[in-house]
Homo-oligomer: A and B are copies of this chain.
Amino acid sequence: MATSDPVYLRVVEDIRRQITDGTLPPGAPIPSRAQLTRKYQVGETAARHALRVLASEGLIIGRVGSGHYVRERPDLSPLHRWRFLDHPAPFAADLQSQGRRVTWDWHSEPAEAGPDIARRLRLDESTTLTRTHYVFRGDGRPLQLATSYEPLEFAAHTEEERRSLVARVYAHGIKITEIVESVHTRVPRPAESDALDLPAGIHVLHVERTHWAGDRPVETSDIVIPGDRFRIMYSMPV
């Protein structure tokens, strides 16, 4: 039954097994196209296709001129929601608690809401609000992107204000009562692959977070996280 399977799958499965069972440790070189054709008695097309499939699964990474190598797959670091709710940098406090030196760049600009954000903040599409882009880095390497949208009146003006959205909004007599996050996964957009330094085939977790004051949305943000490096932990008291 398995004899009529495509031949490239034989190669994929053999190498995948060697990677998962540790025969090929992270960083180990994968045989080159030429070596695979000889070793598995397959054509170049099959060898090439096998490498592409393994790369798209995130198991190996190809370096032009050098070869394919088993990808370093750090254990999925947990990002704990619920512990660090009121933080301008979602998950950043969590990364810090993992002993990484977390830095971040941000820049704000006025922007039109647009259909998507308008719906999420229950505003008119043409409303102008403050959009802030964040890039978070751990020990220099990019870890996470976030884009936050706030109505102008809540926007932070000082570094101090930026630290707590809750306090900032409370200054207007509005109390945040709920945070809603929606998680899904998707292919990174080109700009995101670039900013996060993602190899092909790695998906991202996209978290849409909205701060609510009663039934009024107060802030919303899009958080983009490499899907293969992190797990998001939600803890819910019963």
With most chain B CB atoms within 10 A of its CB, the pick from A78, A179, A234, A235 is: A234
Give chain A interface residues in 176-208, CB to chain B under 8 Å: 176-187, 201, 203-205, 208
Chain B residues near A78 (CB-CB < 8 A)? 182
- Tally of this chain's copies: 2
- Known A182-B78, A203-B227; judge A57-B236 contact (CB<8 A): no
A234 to B185, CA, bound (A): 15
Is A71 at the interface (CB under 8 A from chain B)? no
Chain B residues with Cβ below 8 Å from A111 are none
A76 and B184 in contact (CB under 8 A), knowing A203-B203, A227-B203?
Answer: yes
Counting chain B CB atoms within 10 Å of each CB, the highest count among A57, A76, A203, A237 belongs to: A203
Least distance between A13 CB and chain B CB atoms (Å):
9
Q: Does chain B have a CB within 8 A of A230?
A: yes
- A166: Cβ under 8 A from any B Cβ: yes
Partner of A238 from B85, B187, B228 at Cβ < 8 Å: B85
Residue in contact with A232 in the complex, picked from B85, B178, B183, B230, CB distance below 8 Å: B183
Encoded as 1 (CB less than 8 Å from any B CB) or 0, chain A from 157 to 187 comes to: 0000000001000000000111111111111
B166/A184 in contact, CB under 8 A: no
Chain A contact residues, majority secondary structure: strand
Whether A186 pairs with B82 at a CB distance below 8 angstroms is no
Residues of B close to A227: CB separation below 8 A: 184-186, 203
Complex formed: what's the CA distance from A237 to B180 in Å? 9
Pairwise interchain contact B238-A182, C-beta atoms closer than 8 A: no
The reply on A81 being an interface residue by CB < 8 A is yes
A228's partner among B185, B228, B234 (CB-CB below 8 A) is B185
- Chain B residues closer than 8 Å to A86, beta-carbon distance: 238
- CB neighbours of A76 from chain B (8 A): 184
Contact B238 A166 (CB under 8 A): yes
Known: A203-B203, A203-B227. Contact between A182 and B233, CB under 8 A? yes
Asked if residues A58 and B233 are in contact (CB atoms below 8 Å), the reply is no
